Amino acid sequence: MLKRLDLNKDKKGAIGILIFVCVLFGILLIGFTAAIVVGIIDIVSDEITPIMEDLGMAGGSNISEYAGYGFGTMNTFVQALPWIVAAGYVLALIFTIVFIFIVGYNPHPAFIAFYFALMILLIFGCVLVSNMYQDLYSATDDLALRLQEQTILSYLLLHSPFIMVMIMVIGGLLMFTRQASAEGSGGFGV
Q: What is the bridge-based pairing of β-strands 61-62 and 57-58?
A: antiparallel
In sequence order, which ranges of the chain are alpha helices (DSSP H)?
A: 15-53, 63-103, 112-137, 142-149, 151-158, 160-176
* Global confidence as pTM: 0.81
* Burial (Cβ within 10 Å: 0-12, 13-18, ≥19) of residue 21: buried
Question: What count of Cα atoms within 13 Å lies in the side-chain half-sphere of residue 141?
Answer: 8
Element (H, E) at 62: strand 61-62
Q: What are 89-131's pLDDT values in tens digits?
A: 999 999 998 888 787 777 888 889 999 999 999 999 999 999 9
Q: What are 135-180's pLDDT values in tens digits?
A: 999 998 999 999 999 999 999 999 999 999 999 999 988 888 876 5
Q: Report the SS3 class of residue 186.
A: coil
User: What band does 6 get if pLDDT is binned at 50, 70 and 90?
Assistant: very low
Per-residue confidence (pLDDT) for residue 26, from 0 to 100: 95
Q: What are 36-75's pLDDT values in tens digits?
A: 999 999 998 888 877 777 776 667 777 777 777 777 788 8
